[in-house]
């Protein structure tokens, strides 16, 4: 049995309620959705949300009723290339099915190929469709790559009314990075209104979680990160956190690219 340090245990306790437990695999079905929802409520506490494909929102809502775990889904995913009318329709359908949070991929191609105007107008339409529902905007920072483009995308998302700035879909080779996280966290701090941060793509252990929490503490203040302002989008991370907290289950480590 591995002995974990006090700092590892503290990080795991802090990170678990910030987790958006995610499964966005091509082969997801009713059984995998049920398994995901079972994992969301743990002996060490519940995660913030599950994040899954839109067709599984009604099932997840039923399974998680009364648990306090939110149900998030994705739209304009993963390429960010659907027209605004289609994405608005996706959002409306997800909300009708009971989704608590919407993770929308911005038209990030317009950020590096164009002026960003189309991306802005697209996200404004998404904001209108979401109404008061939490809207997390996925910038796909790994595809944008250059800091100046990540900064531009963050500014566009904030202007459009994003509730969270999210790094990645988990569907491109580069997911969350500390460099991108620093830019997005600074944008959250400078927004002048509440904007949260979500790190997703490749965060699978307590060391990685600690790095992003330390960045949030440094940039936004030690009391800033809470489920209302900070999330991890991950799948395997939960098992790593539970292992540190003494609730490990060897052999249970689903992978979704997150």
Catalytic positions are 103, 166, 198
Spatial contact of 50 and 20, defined as CB atoms under 8 Å apart: yes
Q: Other C-beta atoms within 10 Å of 66: how many?
A: 5
**What b-and-e string marks burial along 117-153, b requiring 16 or more CB atoms within 10 Å of the CB?**
eebbebbebbbebbeebbbbbbbbbbbbeeeebbebb
Opening angle at CA 120, ends 122 and 53, nearest 5: 45
Interatomic CA distance for residues 88 and 206, integer angstroms: 37
Q: Other C-beta atoms within 10 Å of 173: how many?
A: 8
């Amino acid at each position: 049995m591995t002995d974990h340090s006090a700092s590892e245990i503290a990080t795991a306790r802090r990170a678990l309620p910030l987790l958006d437990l995610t499964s966005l695999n091509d082969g997801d079905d009713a059984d995998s959705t049920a398994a995901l929802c079972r994992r969301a409520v743990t002996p060490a506490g519940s995660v913030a949300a599950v994040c899954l494909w839109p067709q599984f929102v009604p099932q997840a809502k039923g399974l998680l009723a009364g648990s306090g775990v939110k149900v998030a889904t994705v739209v304009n995913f993963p390429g960010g290339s659907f027209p605004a009318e289609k994405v608005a329709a996706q959002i409306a359908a997800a909300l009708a099915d009971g989704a608590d949070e919407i993770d929308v991929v911005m038209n990030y191609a317009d950020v590096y190929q164009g002026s960003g105007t189309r991306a802005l107008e697209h996200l404004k339409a998404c904001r209108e469709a979401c109404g008061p529902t939490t809207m997390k905007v996925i910038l796909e920072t790994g595809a944008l790559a250059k800091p100046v483009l990540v900064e531009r995308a963050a500014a566009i998302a904030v202007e459009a009314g994003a509730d969270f700035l999210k790094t990645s879909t988990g569907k491109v080779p580069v997911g969350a990075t500390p460099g991108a996280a620093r830019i997005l966290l600074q944008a959250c701090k400078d927004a002048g209104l509440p904007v949260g941060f979500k790190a997703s793509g490749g965060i699978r252990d307590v060391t990685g979680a600690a790095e992003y929490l330390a960045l949030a503490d440094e940039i936004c203040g030690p009391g800033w990160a809470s489920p209302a302002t900070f999330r991890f989008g991950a799948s395997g991370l939960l098992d790593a956190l539970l292992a540190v907290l003494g609730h490990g289950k060897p052999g249970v480590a689903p992978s979704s690219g997150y």
